[in-house]
Amino acid sequence: MSASFNPGPADQRPAQRAQLFVIDPITRLNPAKDSSVALMQAAHRAGLQPWVCTPADLSAAAGPNQPVAAGEPIGSGHRAWARAQAISLAPMHCQPQGWEVPQPWFSLGEPALVPLEDFQVVWMRKDPPVDEAYLYATHLLDLAERHGVRVVNRPAALRAWNEKLGALRFSHRMAPTLVSSRVAALQAFTIEQREVVLKPLGGRAGQGVVFAAAGTPGLRALLELVTQMEALPVMAQAFLPGVSAGDKRILLVDGEPLGAVNRVPTGGEFRSNLAVGGAPEAAQLTAAELEICAELAPVLRAEGLFFVGIDVIDGRLSEINVTSPTGVREVERLGGIALADLIIERLLAH
């Protein structure tokens, strides 16, 4: 730990300007890469107190003892709560090779049971999978939204936008794509396209993504495996050879692209995700990429998707990441942009 870092005891209740981050357990986060950590630090720099909890710490209460304000309808006394902790974060400095992280890099206050409306903003930043626990958490966050709390991203939109299927709303921007659980249909599509990428609809960070070709030995068996014997649909997309030049992550804030990083496959790997070894490099947006962003912007704004990361390969839209978009640290380091501070600034402007 740097000698200048002395967080002191955290307050037991949120101050007027506090933001709650619903995340995976804090000890699992890599502060040198995690966008949630970057956002918490930026919130602190903006004079806000970040708090943290996990989805399991969310709860709701209703009944005759729940207060109802004058003029509110019957049944509006329900409250959503979080067993949360204030967090203080050590300063981290960007070096050419990466972020310099002191140890320990965070300090937590004592847990407190806090109504969500005590927070100015609640960030839903839990990583996929979007399973039952995740979906139930979004329903609890709905309660906070009804009491005037801004939830980023909007819970209803998190339920509606699968990160693979959401891109189909803009299918004309995509490579040829088929979503199906039927092995025969996927096999025919693979033969037609010659080379494809198979993606599980609930995957993240490139996990479970496989390459297949028309001549792949055991293609049918592979398709049976990825569909779990036709029990689950998968996304098959025509393989884009341009991925060798990189898969660009573009971060949109209230519909506006504020930063991008190109992720280049390494070590013979076709996947470019940073989690599987992709090498990040600075990136500028092309005219085609700006057109994609402009087309998405009004839809994202209308649905309450404030912070989104889209993936573009060779000018084709691949995915729309809405749960916990990553890439902030890489954009800040490679592009020299104080991106997390810009995101918080835009959020406060609303």
| Interatomic CA distance for residues 270 and 304, integer angstroms | 33
Tokens of 288: 């085609």
Catalytic: which of 125, 126, 154, 199?
Answer: 199
Known catalytic membership, residue 199:
yes
Known catalytic membership, residue 204:
no
Catalytic: which of 126, 154, 321, 332?
Answer: 321
Query: Are 7 and 309 in contact, with CB atoms under 8 Å apart?
Result: no
Query: Are 52 and 21 in contact, with CB atoms under 8 Å apart?
Result: yes
Token pair 């995340």 is found at 23
Known catalytic membership, residue 332:
no
Catalytic: which of 125, 164, 173, 204?
Answer: 164
Tokens of 217: 């030995």
Tokens of 205: 């960070």
Report which residue type is found at 78: H
Cα-only R_g, the chain: 21
Known catalytic membership, residue 83:
no
| Interatomic CA distance for residues 324 and 260, integer angstroms | 16
Catalytic: which of 118, 247, 319, 332?
Answer: 319
Catalytic: which of 33, 125, 126, 263?
Answer: 263
Catalytic: which of 34, 57, 145, 311?
Answer: 311
With H, G, I as helix, E, B as strand and everything else as coil, classify residue 158: helix
Catalytic: which of 33, 125, 154, 249?
Answer: 249
Own/partner long-range contacts of 279-283 (Cβ < 8 Å, ≥24 apart): 280/330, 280/334, 281/246, 281/334, 282/334, 282/335, 283/246, 283/248, 283/334, 283/335
Catalytic: which of 126, 271, 316, 329?
Answer: 271
Phi, psi (deg, nearest 5) at residue 68: -125, 125
Pairing of strands 18-22, 49-53: parallel
Known catalytic membership, residue 321:
yes
Query: Are 122 and 22 in contact, with CB atoms under 8 Å apart?
Result: yes
Sign, Cα dihedral of 16, 19, 25, 27: negative
Active-site positions read 164, 199, 249, 263, 271, 311, 319, 321
